Amino acid sequence: MRDLNDLVFEGYLAGFRDGGWTGDPGILRLGYVASIALQNGLMDFWNLRGVIDPRQYPRMRLLWGAPTCGGEP
């Protein structure tokens, strides 16, 4: 059974091919994976700030609609 990530990447690659791109799929895969890593890594760091920094509690409440687990009163 193929991995969901492989299926998504195949669609991503097909979109580029439909647009006329004929480059190396390995380069496209690198950009695809780097983008995912940066998005998820940066978002996790950003959200972690909301848990450990009491000044961020109002922002986290606004984003998530609930108090954080950081001990907000």
Going from N- to C-terminal start, the domains of the chain cover 33-67
Q: Which residue has the higher pLDDT, 42 or 71?
A: 42
Q: Which residue has the higher pLDDT, 40 or 12?
A: 12
DSSP type of residue 2: -
Provide the 10 A C-beta neighbour count for residue 3. 8
Mean of all residue pLDDT scores within the chain: 79
Distance CA 12, CA 1 (A): 19
pLDDT exceeds cutoff 70 at 60: yes
pLDDT exceeds cutoff 80 at 43: no
pTM over 0.75: no
Distance CA 10, CA 24 (A): 13
